[in-house]
Structure 1
Amino acid sequence: MQLKNVKLIYLREMRDQLRDRRTLFLIAVLPLLLYPLLGTSFFQLTQFLQKVEARVLVVGTRQLRSADWLPPLIRDNRFDLQLFDQPDWHDKIELYSPRDFPDLADDLRKGKSLPIAGAAPQASADEAAFDAAAKQLLDAGKVEAVLVFPNGFEDRLRDVRQALVQRKAAGATAFPEPIILYNSADDKSQVTQLRVDQILRRWRNEVTAENLTASNVPVEATTPFELRPRDMAQMQQRQAAVWSKVLPFFVFIWALTGAFYPAVDLCAGEKERGTLETLLTSPALRREIVWGKLLTVMTFSVVTALLNLGSLGMTGKFVIDNLSKSGAFGATEAMTMPPLTSLLWLAVALVPISALFSALCLACAAFARSTKEGQYYLMPIMLVTMPLMMLPMSPGVELNLGNSFIPVTGMVLLLRSVIEGQFALVLKFVWPVLGVTLICCLLAIRWAEEQFNRESVLFRESERLEIGRWLVHLVRDRQATPSFAQAALCVAIILITQFFVSLSAGMTGEFDFAFLAKAILVSQLACVFAPSILMTIMLTREPAKTLLLERTPRWSHLWLMAVLALALHPVVVAGANQITKIYPVPEATEQIAESIGSALDGAPHWLAALALMALLPALCEELAFRGFVLSGFRHVGHKWWAIALSAVAFGLVHTFLHQKISATMMGMIIGYVAVQTESIWPCVLLHTIHNSLQLSIHKLAQTAELNPSSPVGVLFGGESPLLYRTPSVLICAAVAAAILWRLHGVRYSRTVEEQLEEARQRQDSPLLGA
């Protein structure tokens, strides 16, 4: 790859993009105008809300006027000013009485005859008439809430007061309860109900204080102590905590958006304009073209994120400062801009994140037939990346070794720690985060290069989908093996089927071996085996070739798989222990594992447990993932891409996180065996022995506990079994590596795409002319 060609392509694409008014508007103009317009709209909306008044109908206030000892609730047709937490609301709540609604006055006056809580129900007809009248007012928007003091409210207050003065219990069984009627479907009515509720609670506290004073009981007796929490964080730390949650999310979102639209224009747009063919016929290699376009998309991604960051910061500071000065929301301290070092770290983190997003967008845009189709791919990319960016905002999610291995999430958590000043934590996990981000960038760039190296992708013509003709095409024009899309569809069907089956299969009885057997049979046969076999029969012309049943396996391969399974067991157990250290096993998962172990102990025969837990999953999962799915994924053009994708799919169908990670790693090995041996049976044998060892070791460990000095006890018992010590694990790993290396020399059949990819690599190799 020549940097001179990359530079020329980069300058060409930058010049073309800067001439595009739509790109300039999205990248430069929109960020500078969007946030000031949002801030202006927010202030206008705030002023509008300040002018809105709430209307409350009060029924039964005459009962409060004869009791002189009651603190004032209503003065001058308003709630008393002393009852408001925010005095501004005193003039915004207007009170009405039943006589203000002449057409409903008679029905509304019946509200004061409603029975108090605990009393015998009275006049159900009056209650129905009152409810209908109140609902009519609420639905019409004439009032936002109705406050009712029911029948006997004043008498009940007097009884409670006298009982307290005389030091005896009140006669009634319940305290008086005012009723607030409101419309939960109306936001304004909900807010009004909350305000009235706060007012009544404060008024109730004053009534309680009056009663205590009348009975010579100090008011302090109701609150013998106060809680005084003290926030030891400094103002700068509190503000940094706020910025650390907001800035990385917005910056990464705009980095993704800034990369997507230029990528669509540089790939799908050039297909429509007919300029892509001219670029491909130039002396530049495909890789150089990809890198030139990638640098262009990265430039726009970084610039978009930085412009949005600056505009958001300035507008946010202006808005928050004005709200703080006005005392809105109880703000007591003005928000300041984040430290300059935090902004510099954000700019540094933008480079790898922009590279990752740019490569993903470039690959999707190259796959699209047109700009219209390319724009549809934004939603799937957002659905994948948004949860990764929002996960760090969840309570309790912090930077640790396990989270640092999650793409995008680890980078967001790292930036949070940097902005909050936790540099010791940053230095501890910076290398895992950077390593994972770099690997993801390289894989994404490699994927983009793969898209540009495939003529069938670059020169696909636009087409209209007709369901009937498409279904006929699937059956009539079947290929020997499934396509990549059909393999991906099979994985999706398996996952969706498993999801709904797991939701519908609740535990209705004891978790015993019979229940476990039913659950596994349904999961394997209905969710995994049936979709893959049906799609193989319906969508392929050569089912035996698709499922790797065409060739009889060699006996040497079968013996090697048996030895490989035995050698891999200590390595897998050691890896599982390391995974447990990184991602601790939840207590609920441990309980489920114990329940499964207890159910297996109740099996009628141990061979039945092995057939259920080892043989059946091995047969069904291998036919599905090393058969149909791997055969379809091999059309990507490289066997390692197919092996990796099928391994990830194999890991996703497992239930728990630790199972997913272990199954993905094991899926890489089994997928490699499937490609090299071209037979499903070595894979089934390896999978069966591997599962059987997992179950048999449990039995052997129980035997070892009974006799620790026996050979079985030395190998499998105690806190440090001999089989799982570091020297044993290293020896077994070496044996497994030697077996896999021996399979490397086996010749296997390449697909057409793999042959084309190998030919292209030989053509691009600098050794070709030697």
Structure 2
Amino acid sequence: MWLVFLKELKELVRDRKTLFFMIALPILVFPLIIGVVAYFSTKAVQEAETKVLNFAVVGEQYAPSLVNQMKDSDNFNQVSLPDEDDVTTSIRSGLTDFVLVIPDNYGDDVLATGQITLKLYLNDAGLNLVQHRLQAMVNNIAKHNQQLAFVQLGLDEDQQTALLEPIVIDKIDVADKRENWGEKIGGFVPYLIFMLCLQGAMIPATDLGAGEKERGTLETLLISPIARYKLVMGKFFTIALAGVTSALVTVSSMAIWGIVLSQGMAIQLVAEFMSAISGIDFALIFLMLIPVVAIFASLLLCLSIYARSFKEAQGYMTPLVMLVIVPVIMAMLPGVELKGGWAWVPLTNVALAIKELIKGTMDYGELIAIFGSTAIIATALISFCVYWFNKEKVLFR
């Protein structure tokens, strides 16, 4: 068994493509994703904030001061509507970015006019910040009108505050920063880790089964005086090692890049969050990935042995991505917690446990159910793989 393992390991190390998916991809993927998302999101927001918006006004005569402020601003450019009744068409055609409809009760005297409703017509399907930019201007006018009304009513500062907000709820969050951040990003981390582990094991698995069939080396291996189960276990350990290596590099990369980026970008909150996750928690995240990788490795080896060619094996393995996505999505659903039956659901329990470890709210007693369920399934799949390997019609179909 170990001779087969060493033989497959040597071939694995010689394959640059496999090493890239095992080591280079996990190391690069975290800073790459963070950098790309940050760059494009920042660029999109900057473009939306600096874009000059074309606007048209219906009922301009009721609020000349507001319209003049908009004209004088560098953010807005007034255009004329060809037909005031066809507001939607003018926006969809690109003639205007938005149309503001001012009611006839508009005025500075709040006590006389009552509440004023400005109607804003726009295409809000994309990032435009139209309402945000217009709201800032309207808020200044509204605040000025409020102060005039308070002066007329003769209210002091405390009465003004009580009138604006008669009842205030003072929310006191007992969750610490780590728990808050863990709840927000904890569901995404297992998805990324599982995908990288599956990717790291998929390439060698395809080659060790279907690849050997295509090269004609499988027959030579089968006539050697080695028990079939030892051949299976040798190949299994090679695939599992590739997946575990990818898992280890992924977890280490997540920890290292999180600290480096938070320090380099002077993000104190992120630095505090990363420093709050202990080495034991990172070690447990890695250890829980071992039985998960065992499930991936045994299932991938079964499919690879069954396939007639490398291409056919890739076709069988592609749907496994859904096998990874669905349990992680289940872990993100509201009300799904690492309690009761969910602690025994394969893959979902590991995703929930990783989320709890990141949050710092892990019930370590649930590790028994997590390791137990994943170990049982991994053992069953390995046993099926041995059975599969002993069927000659599968090996030479």
TM above 0.5, yes or no, is: yes
The verdict on how the C-alpha distance between 1:37 and 1:407 changes in structure 2, with shifts beyond 3 A counting, is: closer
Aligned pair partner of 1:181 in 101, 114, 121: 121
Give the conservation status (yes or no) of the 8 Å contact 1:263–1:358.
yes
Change in CA separation of 1:134 and 1:399 when aligned onto 2, cut-off 3 Å: closer
Secondary structure of 1:181 counterpart? strand
User: What residue number does 1:20 align with?
Assistant: 15
| Alignment partner of 1:394 out of 333, 336, 348 | 333
Q: How large is the Cα RMSD of the aligned pairs?
A: 3.1
Q: How do residues 394-473 of structure 1 correspond to structure 2 at under 5 angstroms?
A: 394-422=333-361, 425-427=363-365, 429-460=366-397
The equivalent position to 1:343 in structure 2, one of 282, 286, 290, is 282
| Residue aligning to 1:262 | 204
d(CA) in 1 for partners of 2:90 and 2:70? Answer: 26
The one-letter amino acid paired with 1:7 is: W
* 1:219 and 2:160 aligned: yes
Task: State the shift of 1:241 in Å.
Answer: 4.5
TM-superposed deviation, 1:27: 1.4
Aligned to 1:137, the other structure's residue is in SS state: coil
For the residues of structure 1 that align with 2:137 and 2:212, how far apart are their CA atoms? 65
User: Which residue identity does 2:111 align to in structure 1?
Assistant: R
Q: Distance in 2 between matches of 1:289 and 1:42?
A: 45
Mapped contact 1:239–1:336 kept (Cα < 8 A): no
2:323 is aligned with 1:384: yes
Contact 2:213–2:308 under 8 Å retained in 1: yes
1:183–1:21 Cα change, 3 Å: same
94, 111, 124: which one pairs with 1:161?
111
Q: Does 1:36 find its partner at 2:35?
A: no
Q: Please report how far the alpha carbon of residue 306 of structure 1 lies from its aligned counterpart in structure 2 after TM superposition.
A: 1.9
Aligned to 1:287: 229
SS at match of 2:318: helix
Contact 1:321 1:335 in 2 (8 A): no
* Distance in structure 2 (CA, Å) of the matches to 1:198 and 1:259: 53
Partner residue of 1:196? Answer: 134
In structure 1, give the amino acid aligned to 2:154: N
What is the count of residue pairs matched by the alignment?
A: 388
1:230 corresponds to 2:172: yes
Q: Is 1:364 the counterpart of 2:303 in the alignment? A: yes
The answer to whether the Cα contact below 8 Å between 1:149 and 1:179 also exists between their aligned partners in 2 is: yes
Q: SS at the partner of 2:63?
A: helix
Matched letter for residue 352 of structure 1: P
Q: CA deviation at 1:29?
A: 2.2
Partners of 2:258 and 2:274 within 8 A in 1: no
Amino acid in structure 2 at the alignment position of 1:161? L
Structural mapping, 1:645-656, within 5 Å: none
After superposition, the Cα gap between the structure-2 partners of 1:343 and 1:129, relative to the gap in structure 1 and judged at 3 Å, is: closer
1:10 has 2:5 as partner: yes
Q: Paired residue for 2:75?
A: 94
In structure 1, C-alpha distance between the alignment counterparts of 2:46 and 2:329, rounded to whole Å: 36
- Look up the equivalent residue of 1:355 and give its one-letter code: A
- Among residues 79, 88, 99, which one is paired with 1:146 in the alignment? 99
Q: Given the alignment of the two structures, is residue 272 of structure 1 paired with residue 223 of structure 2, yes or no?
A: no
Distance 1:15 1:332 in 2: 40
Supply the distance in 2 between the matched residues of 1:234 and 1:54 (Cα, whole angstroms): 39
Deviation per CA, 1:8-30: give whole Å up to 9, x if none. Answer: 00000000111112112221222
SS at 2:335's partner residue? coil
What is the CA–CA distance in structure 2 between the aligned matches of 1:212 and 1:299, rounded to whole Å? 73
Which residue does the alignment assign to 1:90?
A: none
Is the alpha carbon distance of 1:233 and 1:131 closer, same or farther for their aligned partners in structure 2, counting shifts above 3 Å? closer
Instruction: Show CA shifts across 1:407-452 (max 9, x none).
Output: 12223333444444445x322x332332222210111101211221
Displacement of 1:298 in angstroms is 0.6
Select the structure of larger CA radius of gyration: 1
Q: What SS does the corresponding residue of 1:279 show, helix, strand or coil?
A: helix
- Corresponding position: 1:375 with 2:314: yes
**In structure 2, what is the equivalent of residue 54 of structure 1?**
51
Question: What's the offset of the Cα at 1:308?
Answer: 2.4
CA-CA distance at 1:275 after TM superposition: 0.8
Structure 1 Cα separation of the partners of residues 372 and 279 of structure 2: 26
Amino acid at match of 1:54: K
More moved, 38-47 vs 350-359 = 38-47
What per-residue deviation string (whole Å, max 9, x for no partner) do you get for residues 146-178 of structure 1? 33335x243xx3675336xxxxxx6xxxx5422
1:184 deviates by: 3.5
| TM-score, scaled relative to structure 2 | 0.85
1:136 lines up with 2:93 in the alignment: yes
- 1:466 aligns to what? none
Q: Does 1:302 align with 2:283?
A: no
CA 1:133–1:440 in 2, change beyond 3 Å: closer, same or farther? closer
5+ residue gaps, structure 2: none
Report matched runs for 1:616-765 at 5 Å.
none
User: Which residue in the other structure is 1:207 paired with?
Assistant: 145
The equivalent of 1:767 in structure 2 is none
Residues 450-485 of structure 1, C-alpha deviations (whole Å, 9 max, x = no match): 22111111112xxxxxxxxxxxxxxxxxxxxxxxxx
Aligned residue number for residue 608 of structure 1: none
Distance in 2 separating the partners of 1:47 and 1:392: 30
Whole-angstrom CA distance in 1 between matches of 2:341 and 2:15: 44
Gapped runs of 5+ residues in structure 1? Answer: 1-5, 79-92, 99-104, 109-125, 164-169, 461-770
Tell me how far apart the structure 2 counterparts of residues 449 and 236 of structure 1 sit (CA, whole Å): 45
Matches within 5 A, 1:68-147: 74=69, 77-78=72-73, 94-98=75-79, 105=80, 107=81, 126-138=83-95, 143-147=96-100
* Cα distance, 1:321–1:224 mapped onto 2, change above 3 Å: farther
Relative to the length of structure 1, the TM-score reads 0.46
Contact 1:58 1:95 (8 Å CA) reproduced = no
Structure 1 window deviating more from structure 2 (229-238 vs 127-136): it is: 127-136
Name the amino acid aligned to 1:77: D
